[in-house]
Amino acid sequence: MSVMPKVPSYASGTSDKPLLGDTIGDNLGRTVRAFPDRDALIERASGRRWSYAQFAADVDTLALGLLSLDIGKGDRVGIWAPNCAEWTLTQYATARIGAVLVTVNPAYRAHELEYVLNQAGIRLLVTAERFKTSDYAAMVTEVRPSCPELEHVVPLATPVWERLLEHGRRGDPAALAERQAELSPDDPINIQYTSGTTGFPKGATLSHHNILNNGFFVGELCGYTERDRVCIPVPFYHCFGMVMGNLACTSHGAAMVIPAPAFEPAATLAAVEAEACTSLYGVPTMFIGELADPGFASYDLSTLRTGIMAGSPCPAEVMSQVIERMGMAEVSICYGMTETSPVSAQTRADDSLERRVATVGRVGPHLEVKVVDPHTGRTVPRGETGELCTRGYSVMLGYWEAPRETSEAIDAARWMHTGDLAVMDDDGYLSVTGRIKDMVIRGGENIYPREVEEFLHTHPDVLDVQVIGVPDPQYGEELMAWIRMKDGAAPLDAEAVRAFCDGRLAHFKVPRYVHLVDSFPMTVTGKVRKVEMRQAAVRLLEQSW
């Protein structure tokens, strides 16, 4: 009797809408002509507002100002600031003239700034003067002598910024139109530095075609039209803010709402209410913070219908509350990485709650995904765990001036190897079970931390939890759970956690150690830094031994 071959873990995304062949500037121009009077950008902190016609005029003024400084196609322009209207204006102004926008992490310190300025060869840096504990001006002064290619520093909200705009107001619009006509959708337009866990970060180089199409199709799957108003509390410096947020909006004529320079639960909820937002973005920890805000019940969130949760796996309990208490019935889970512009898979509005809490959805339009054996590279059958790979319009041009690192990430067939472990089911839905490097091997048993985290989230006193592997002389590795308790809850210890898990989790999946914390070490984009947690855990255990 013949055996039916198993279906491989491969899927490709179809669409009745073709890929966009525009540059970002051309696409913005089309939107402005269609919706000149609709809201384009609202900055809550200052109360400033732009219609699409006003936004385009200010983008062109800034673009002409940059041209007056001889900044042109291929030149690198850095931006180092928290979320603000000028950040968005700079994003589109650089795209209009073909300059490559280098987004600098607002959390960077002087040595990291110096590295990015030199590695990208930044000619002009737009920067905040200071924010919270960061004195950007002092750090720029410190590193500037070591950055020979840095010709111009333009601090926001200073006479230098105003002079740049004044030059732009005196510029010739014909020169800008001529410059834009020279651009190609395949030109590099953005460098985003990955928050590398070892060594210095790498600059993922993205084209107009990469990020414009990704923003457009993410917006399509969210059902965006010119009537949508999107609250964007996630950082612009990362793809979540500038692509899934800004470009998804401008490619549909929707409004971009900036609730605050950095994430604040109350400010975000207030922005949703005041601006009648229909969509809200965030990583799970942001939604947890909003749901736990003391004034949560007082905000009118009735205009919300959708949003995006991404950046890290979403606990089922959090997703349920976002739908039930925030009214985001069509909330979407997105999966991706900076190197893929970023989204490769997304849930759809008609997906069940189970699909949205247990998977990251299906492959996006015009993209391919497969799950492969990390050792052999062969595609595994559906239902088996392997490394997730993706291919298509979204895959970066490469790491900036790093051909070896590029070839390690993108194979000869242009598949991007994500480093994530995933399972594809019979319907093509993907479940991401962890990072290859995060998988814990305890006494020969493979343990995926996310499974344990999901289970511990069901404890009534647990607000949030992260599980890591720590060294163990007997088993090689043991599990440690870092737990944030709900307000007023009695502290949990290892014995209490074991009792909660007893008979419900396999014994080898029960955390041996429990560490209570007020917060987790995070990247500025809201991803938990498990590498930093493991380092701290080793120190904690050494002190107790």
Give pLDDT tens digits for 181-190. 999 999 999 9
Render pLDDT for 301-343 as a digit per residue (tens, 0 to 9): 999 999 999 877 777 888 899 999 999 999 999 999 999 999 9
Smallest CA-to-CA distance from 123 within 196, 177, 73 is with: 73
Q: How confident is the model at residue 439 (pLDDT cuts 50, 70, 90)?
A: confident
Please state the rounded mean pLDDT for residues 257-280.
98
Q: Assign domain 439-544 to its CATH superfamily.
A: ANL, C-terminal domain (3.30.300.30)
The three-class DSSP label of residue 168 is helix
Smallest CA-to-CA distance from 108 within 7, 175, 200 is with: 200
- What pLDDT is recorded for position 153? 98
Please state the rounded mean pLDDT for residues 400-421.
95
What are the extents of the domains in the chain? 24-424, 439-544
**Residue 107 reports pLDDT greater than 90:** no
The whole-angstrom separation of Cα 251 and Cα 220 is: 10
Percentage of residues of the chain with pLDDT beyond 90? 82
- What pLDDT is recorded for position 139? 96
Smallest CA-to-CA distance from 108 within 30, 189, 196, 9 is with: 196
**Residue 261 reports pLDDT greater than 90:** yes
The three-class DSSP label of residue 157 is coil
Pairing of β 332-336 and β 306-309? parallel
Read off φ and ψ for residue 63, nearest 5 degrees.
-60, -45
**Residue 197 reports pLDDT greater than 80:** no
Q: How confident is the model at residue 525 (pLDDT cuts 50, 70, 90)?
A: low
The structure tokens 């805000």 sit at 293
- What pLDDT is recorded for position 284? 87
Mean pLDDT of the chain, nearest integer = 94
What Rg do the C-alpha atoms of the chain give, in angstroms? 23
The CATH T-level fold of domain 24-424 is Rossmann fold (3.40.50)
- What pLDDT is recorded for position 445? 77
The length of the chain in residues reads: 545
- What pLDDT is recorded for position 205? 98
Q: How confident is the model at residue 199 (pLDDT cuts 50, 70, 90)?
A: low
Please state the rounded mean pLDDT for residues 223-238.
97
- Contact between residue 121 and residue 128 where contact means Cβ atoms under 8 Å apart: no
- What pLDDT is recorded for position 504? 86
Read off φ and ψ for residue 183, nearest 5 degrees.
-90, 155
Tokens describing residue 22: 């525009």
**Residue 450 reports pLDDT greater than 60:** yes
Beta strand spans in 5-121 (E): 10-12, 39-43, 48-51, 76-80, 100-103
- Beta-carbon count within 10 A of 348 CB: 15
**Residue 407 reports pLDDT greater than 50:** yes
* DSSP secondary structure, 343-405, as one string: EEEE--TTS-HHHHHH---EEPTTEEEEEE-TTT-PBPBTTSEEEEEEEETTS-SEETT-HHH
- Contact between residue 268 and residue 54 where contact means Cβ atoms under 8 Å apart: no
**Residue 276 reports pLDDT greater than 90:** yes
Render pLDDT for 368-406 as a digit per residue (tens, 0 to 9): 999 999 889 999 999 999 999 999 999 999 999 999 999
- What pLDDT is recorded for position 170? 97
